Amino acid sequence: MKFYMLALALVLLAVAETGTCQWVRGVESSHVVQIGQRQPNGGVTIVCGGSYLGGKMVVLGAHCANKNGRQPNLARFGSSSGNTFDIPIANITLHYRYKPQFDYHNMAIAVLERNPQIYSSAIRAACILKSHPKSNTPVQLIGPIAGAAQLERAELLAVGSEKCHEYYNPNRKLRFGVLLCCFCARNAKLKRCTDLHSSPLQIVARRSGKEVPYLIGHKSIGKSCDTSTPGIYTRYGSYYEWLETVTGLDFDEKECFARY
């Protein structure tokens, strides 16, 4: 059995039936980043989510690169612990096939000015899941609710591409419908979950006393809770080689698990 199949089999999640999200701390959110813009008055406006991949690299949505007519200029770490710190963004690389008028290839890499692990050993780089999770696989969406600082976890179920097509007909921004670059998930019983663009979607593999987050992708289109219509996520497995090339990092699933 390939390692990514083992990772899927070891997910220990339950779909929320209570209609509420759960606060999240520890390893499962240690990679979660909030992308922001420093304002002239010194305040910070959070515009997107993201995930730390290692070194100085953060993955986020390409849509985040031009929020309110400005490029974000900082990455905030430590939101799950309350001990936050900000690191300036040096530059952002968009996926070479991304076009703002469409919702495809919504991928970008932010290069930070410094490595966040210099400041906190609690910051851990996430792994990336290369395979496509099957329909009804439990997954986690991590992000803040309505601008709150605290991160919350929403437990969703994967929706197969063939089913997701029923909800998203081709339109101006999705000319070809839901392609393999995308992934769908939902929980109609959940009353609220984060609406922050680019918030990470993941599974958590548990083995030998370790818990390791594997990124599936990030939030791109629509809601994922309190509706039967699935949200659409950009799926990192479709961009595996591009991510390794741009970041210079190795995302081998087995080796990543061993590093935790």
| pLDDT tens readout for residues 166-190 | 888 767 667 666 776 788 999 999 9
Whether 246 is in a domain gets the answer no
pLDDT: is 175 or 159 the higher one? 159
Whether 4 is in a domain gets the answer no
Whether 92 is in a domain gets the answer yes
Grade residue 24 by pLDDT with cuts at 50, 70 and 90.
low
pTM of the model: 0.89
Q: Say whether both 152 and 187 belong to one domain.
A: yes
Whether 14 is in a domain gets the answer no
Of 13-22, 70-79, 165-174, the poorest mean pLDDT is in 13-22
Three-state DSSP state, 192: coil
Q: Say whether both 113 and 44 belong to one domain.
A: yes
Once rounded to an integer, what is the mean pLDDT over residues 65-82? 87
Provide the CA 187 distance to its chain's centre, in angstroms.
17
Q: Say whether both 106 and 63 belong to one domain.
A: yes
Amino acid identity of residue 220, one-letter, is: S
Q: Say whether both 212 and 150 belong to one domain.
A: yes
Q: Which domain holds residue 232?
A: 127-238+253-259
Residue 108 CA to residue 106 CA, distance in Å, equals 7
Whether 228 is in a domain gets the answer yes
pLDDT of residue 23: 53
Residues 6+ apart with CB under 8 A from 64: 35, 47, 48, 50, 72, 108, 197, 198
| Number of folded domains that form the chain | 2
Q: What is the DSSP secondary-structure string of 59-112?
A: EE-GGGGGBTTB---EEEE-TTTT--EEEEEEEEEE-TT--TTSSSS--EEEEE
Q: Say whether both 109 and 131 belong to one domain.
A: no
pLDDT of residue 172: 66
Contact 4, 17 (CB under 8 A): no
The CATH code of the domain that includes 97 is 2.40.10.10
Output the six-digit token pair for 179. Answer: 């392609």
Point out the domain boundary residue: 118, 149, 168: 118
Grade residue 6 by pLDDT with cuts at 50, 70 and 90.
very low
Q: Say whether both 112 and 152 belong to one domain.
A: no
Q: Say whether both 140 and 98 belong to one domain.
A: no
Point out the domain boundary residue: 96, 118, 140: 118
Whether 12 is in a domain gets the answer no
Residue 141 CA to residue 202 CA, distance in Å, equals 7
pLDDT of residue 218: 97
pLDDT of residue 25: 59
Q: Say whether both 215 and 134 belong to one domain.
A: yes
Average pLDDT, the chain: 86
Output the six-digit token pair for 20. Answer: 């509420």
Characterize 227-250 residue by residue with b for buried, 16 or more Cβ atoms within 10 angstroms of its Cβ, and e for exposed: eebbbbbbbbbbbeebbeebbebe
Whether 39 is in a domain gets the answer yes
